[in-house]
Structure 1
Amino acid sequence: MSACPFCQTTMRSTFLGGLPREECGGCGSVWFEGEALAKVMGGSISDALVRRAKGHPGVCKGCHAKLQYVPSCPDCGTSAPTCPRCGHAPLPVVEALGVTVEVCSDCAGVALDPGELQQLQQAAEAHRNEPLDVRPRLRLGTRPGCAACKRNVKPKYGFVFEERLYCGSCAPEGSVPFSDELSRAEPSAEFSTPHHSGYTAAIATTATGDATGSALLWLFNRVFGR
């Protein structure tokens, strides 16, 4: 047993629906081991999750301030979300399909607080029977340009990261080359939403009733699956 990433209460181990995890009796959060997720989802998905998390800031659970390279919040003093396995803090926050999760960029473990659990389950239920496009979206202004240096760059020669376009010199770690197969971007002030029915979101609660584990697998397979 290990300490909760958020409140440091000792967690209890559970095993439901083929996905082991630890649950906190104090704040109600859950922790999924990176090795267990890799076995269930596959190494490529786990690796993609770690790449997405690297360099991202954490978020204080007390005042919601962004945290980077600090063990506690400088604004309110709340301990930063911490990996119960390797001690990495703060845990980076990753957003996928509107769902936020804390991910350890070192050991690929995933932590969910009660609010994130609810958010995850609602997202899974909302898309249960809907076609879902999971390709990276790209936000462009009226004139395509690098989000960092502002240099004019055509999308086909750029790189996409967090829905923004970058030139080759400024592309952050984890960015991917623009491709029509990944994202059909159109100059717009709003996010473009490609039409594609190649993926269907499906979340099925297991025989043991483990909706949380099933929803988590649904999310990561829709975002990182190939």
Structure 2
Amino acid sequence: MKGAGEPRRRPATIAVVRFVLASASPARLSVLRAAGIEPLVRVSGVDEDAVAAALTDPTPAELVTALARAKADAVAAEIAAAEPDAVVVGCDSMLRTAQGEVVGKPGTREAAAKRWADNAGSTGYLVTGHAVVRLTGGEVSERAQGHVSTAVRFGRPTEAELDAYLATGEPLHVAGGFTLEGFGGWFVEGVDGDPSSVLGISLPLTRRLLAEVGVGVVTLWNTPNAQ
């Protein structure tokens, strides 16, 4: 018997549906491809500031989940006619620093430099929200959402190392101002929790959310013996 706190799960279907990633993130795409899924990529164009402004004093988890849901809903509406049987996955991530600040992409070199000055030698928490929308016959039939938090232990790059990292441009355009799989990986001492969530898409969480909307993840794998 299921415990009262366990999420409702529908029987996983065998019918193959289209997996749609509502994100332009190369890291998320790379994670999915390495894990056996070749997604259709569509970028939502959601005004993230407007979504955030509509929330009243959200927690980090509530904020990233709301943003992920908005992205998934926007893309689902856009592709429903062309991809009537699909699952759309939206994602968003933010870093909760050791000082309690919640931050997204730095955007500028100056902001990224300050981010690293604040985070060096400390532990932050990357909070990643996911939302799944299932389309059946061109209509939304199921939704699921959730989040995961992973501790990130930052190293202490030297001034020369940090200048070189900032010069790559990489930290300006990623949540928290760092990556695990790129140049930033040299300066991350370790993670406690789900490493795939630090890359932008949590495979375990995505699997659970897909199950909630009736899709078994193995039916999406692009290998001949996956099912």
TM-score, normalization by structure 1:
0.24
The structure in which a higher percent of residues are helix is: 2
Please identify which structure carries the higher strand content.
2
**Structure having greater relative contact order (Cα 8 Å, sep ≥ 6):** 2
Structure 2 length-normalised TM: 0.24
